[in-house]
Structure 1
Amino acid sequence: MKDFKRYAVYYAPRRGDFAEAAADWLGWDVATGKPRLQPDLPGLPRALADLTVAPRKYGFHGTIKAPFRLAEGASESDLQTATAGLARRLAPARMPGLRLAWLGGFLALIPDGDEAGLTALGAEVVRGLDGLRAPLTPEERARRKPDRLTVRQRELLDQWGYPHVMELFRFHLTLSDDLPEDEILPVAEVAQDWFAPVLPQPFVVEDLCLFGEDMLGRFNLIGRHALTG
């Protein structure tokens, strides 16, 4: 059994073609906690492993509650129980599908359609689990570069430990590192071809997935709780 230094609540697809394609693309299987052999895809400017260094350790995921340390006196069991309780109360978030997008530096899949239900879900999870989150240390806060944040983002960072929550929540599934401009189009074209056959329609966030960050800095799926509210 692994020890974890931080926890997070993510979306991760259930087993199937979409999950398999995503694990192969990033080279890390969150369900097994093992590396995957990344495909040699024609058209890429560099090896896929060189284009996906940053997102690989997190695995394929969409953040719902960003990584945090447990509060003093709280246990992983407490977190599992609280996450399961939220999942029994909250309903799935449904959107027509996913599309490829360029998010100012990296490629990602983002939802198509109205995200109001997903934003509300994210807010409930952030609020519902915050009592189990340890306060940010000065070093953790500094890593978020508060001087580059807006006033509202700094307020959210100080209240919830992360600046991109509540009305500023923007769900995405990261597919690459930050890329130079000349690599954006070729990587996007290859990614579109790779994921198009397996993209879910509709796209449904149907679970709260509890992840743990192991001592090597890699994130592992440790609990999947179906949204049944």
Structure 2
Amino acid sequence: MLYDLVRHDDAASTAFLFDAATTTRPVEQPATFHCVSPLSGRPFDELIAIRGPVVETRRLRLRPMEMDDFKDFEAMMCDPSALAYSHKSAMGSDEAWTRFLRQVGHWHLLGYGPFAVFDRETDEFVGEVGFGQFNRNLGGHFDWAPEACWTIVKGRQNEGLATEAVAGAVTWVERVLGATRTVCIVSADNIASIRVAEKIGFRPFKRSEFKGFPAVFFERVVIGL
């Protein structure tokens, strides 16, 4: 067990808490989220039922992104530090919006995706974490395995939140979706994220240049789920 967490149970539409002994107990936490159309003002759930998991760790709450999260997401992604180890420069508002739509779209098309991450005590938005399918065309040993990704807002870094959030997301994708192999790409210069990956049990299987920067390719393989 990586961390205590709450997972969504599709059959019961309820969240359950895994404790250290892997027992469960119900938690008063709705698993349905709602968005309001900016055009009509009508809730989108009048047109389509949108459901998603709620995952909780000791300090954090993870859930799929909602429309109201965009301003916080935009501020995070437009900060130059968010992409310090990427081939990209800081995002503009339009690029942040496109990425936001991509993250939300994962849940509709694939049934998993990046979560918005919140401080459970303050309800403050502190980052994103989760899994994606980013169509990188890197070959069968990488493509179509759920790819872990994480970003923590600048003001909340160095608190261990990335490790805690990734652990919760990994436990969810393995226990609920049954994923037996997940992957991630980390810049070889990003020592902090390499440490996060290693703490969660990802192991390097390849080192190569990726989009202009030296990268480490990691995998996490689970046997006997």
Structure holding more strand per residue: 2
Structure holding more helix per residue: 1
TM over 0.5: no
TM-score, reference length from structure 2: 0.24
Structure with larger RCO (C-alpha < 8 A, sep 6+): 1
